[in-house]
Amino acid sequence: MFKLILKMAWKNSFVRPVRTLLVVLMIAISMGMMLGIEGLYDGMSQNMAEKNKRSDSGDISIFAKDYRINKELKFRIQNAAKIEEELQKNPQIRSLVLRLSADGLVSTARKSSFAQARGIDLDDEEAFGKFSEFLEEGELLLGDKNAIIGIELAKTLKVNVGSKVVFSTQDSSGEINSIALKISAIVQTSNIILDNNALFIDKKKMFAFLGVDAKDATQIAIASDDAKLLNILKTKYPTLDVKSFFELQPMMQMMEDMMVIFNSITFFIIMSVVFVGIFGVMYVSVLDRIREFGIMLAVGMEYKYIRLQIYFEAIFVGLIGFFSGSLLGLLLLIYLRDYGLDFSAFADALQSWGYETIIYGTIKLSYFTTTFLAIMSASVLSVIIPLRKIKNLNPIEVIKAEK
């Protein structure tokens, strides 16, 4: 019986092929577009998060207690090299990098600005976050007198590659010290803070300039995919400030939350479109076949079989819509992943928020599973009213009506 009902449902789904096709198209196009937007939005925030991790915090960062509030050298991690040694033994850690930073003033002959000098080792940064990919202009050189500058800071100071700047800050003994530097490169990390303020200086030079022991650091950034690592490190280093990426970047957390809201909205939009589409088709289809159902009831078919048939019909239309929409959405997402979408017209606005001008999409299985659930729920819900019409059907009325 089940097989026969399936067969009837399948064939009835295409009794009016144009009508069914229109609903399938409606579902497919709305779903395809939604998947594209979802992937693009997700890609945008993921790309931003990934660049923030690579250029700065990693998945976890360790600071000395109070450093993040006071940003003073006295709140640095003493003997960070020993901690580095311990962390390197942990197989859950992909890579890590030690940095020494100091806030100060960078100036040219005409302009000055707040800046954060970040003592880095280019090889370590390359291994940690492919630093060379951030290069916009010049050559990545950190010799004795070289510095790499963030793109927005360079604009503020109106400096180019080859320009000279002076960075002044308080050293570890409390004295104001200055260092003259030549800009060797301009980088764009898409990390707003770094792009606006960072001046990358050779780490060894930074130790000497600030009078800090070469074993110390202000930040240890760790790259790891292990979700449990944060708590392990928090327990292991209770005197230090161990923070996750999202704790350090609350805006990214907000973007993730926005993504959840966005996905929920997408879910309901798709569900509404499918609901309206299938409801329309099924309602008209049931009205068209009301005599058929009445006769089925008259000859002894139980209502539960008719209900099953109607559910299957709605699910078939929903499924075809889902698969067509998945195909369309997948093609769109592949295009967005490989070629991205060029928003150069809004470059200034996007860059000021840390976004790139070409935004690439991401593809996640969850886009499809969520949409599948939305479509199936809508399919099932959309036939409730048409089914009520059949349930209230009096076979006698149908038989009378045919005369």
In single-letter form, the type of residue at position 393 comes to L
Shortest distance in whole angstroms from residue 13 CB to another protein: 10
User: Does 302 interact with another protein (rule: CB under 8 A)?
Assistant: yes
Shortest distance in whole angstroms from residue 18 CB to another protein: 17
List, as one string, the DSSP characters of 5-30: HHHHHHHHHTSSHHHHHHHHHHHHHH
User: Does 285 interact with another protein (rule: CB under 8 A)?
Assistant: no
User: Does 15 interact with another protein (rule: CB under 8 A)?
Assistant: yes
Sorted by sequence, the CB contacts under 8 Å of residue 386 that are 6+ apart come out as 279, 282, 283, 285, 286, 310
User: Does 300 interact with another protein (rule: CB under 8 A)?
Assistant: yes
Shortest distance in whole angstroms from residue 2 CB to another protein: 10
Shortest distance in whole angstroms from residue 4 CB to another protein: 6
User: Does 307 interact with another protein (rule: CB under 8 A)?
Assistant: no
Among 301, 308, 330, 381, binds another protein (CB under 8 A): 301
User: Does 298 interact with another protein (rule: CB under 8 A)?
Assistant: yes
Among 270, 296, 320, 390, binds another protein (CB under 8 A): 296
User: Does 295 interact with another protein (rule: CB under 8 A)?
Assistant: yes
- C-alpha 44/C-alpha 30 separation (Å) is 21
Among 201, 297, 359, 393, binds another protein (CB under 8 A): 297
Which residues between 48 and 107 bind another protein (CB under 8 A)? Answer: none
User: In this chain, which stretch among 130-138, 167-175, 289-297, 321-329 interacts with another protein, using CB under 8 A?
Assistant: 289-297
User: Does 111 interact with another protein (rule: CB under 8 A)?
Assistant: no
> b/e string for 355-383 if b means 16 or more Cβ within 10 A?
bbbebbbbbeeebbebbbebbbbbbeebb
User: In this chain, which stretch among 222-230, 257-265, 299-307, 335-343 interacts with another protein, using CB under 8 A?
Assistant: 299-307
Shortest distance in whole angstroms from residue 306 CB to another protein: 11
User: Does 1 interact with another protein (rule: CB under 8 A)?
Assistant: yes
Q: Which long-range contacts (CB under 8 A, 24 or more apart) does 290-296 make?
A: 290/389, 290/390, 290/393, 290/398, 291/398, 291/401, 291/402, 293/390, 293/393, 293/398, 294/393, 294/394, 294/395, 294/397, 294/398, 294/399, 295/395, 295/398, 295/399
User: Does 26 interact with another protein (rule: CB under 8 A)?
Assistant: no
Q: How is residue 398 written in tokens?
A: 């149908």
What are the residue ranges of helices labelled H in 237-364? Answer: 245-248, 250-288, 290-298, 303-338, 347-352
Please give the span between the terminal C-alpha atoms of the chain, in angstroms, as a whole number. Answer: 31
User: Does 360 interact with another protein (rule: CB under 8 A)?
Assistant: no
Block residue for tokens 């709605």 = 314
User: Does 345 interact with another protein (rule: CB under 8 A)?
Assistant: no
- C-alpha 84/C-alpha 21 separation (Å) is 62
- C-alpha 262/C-alpha 368 separation (Å) is 15
User: Does 373 interact with another protein (rule: CB under 8 A)?
Assistant: no
Among 171, 292, 307, 351, binds another protein (CB under 8 A): 292
Applying CB under 8 A, which residues contact another protein? 1, 4, 7-8, 11-12, 15, 291-292, 295-302, 305, 395-396, 399-400, 402-403
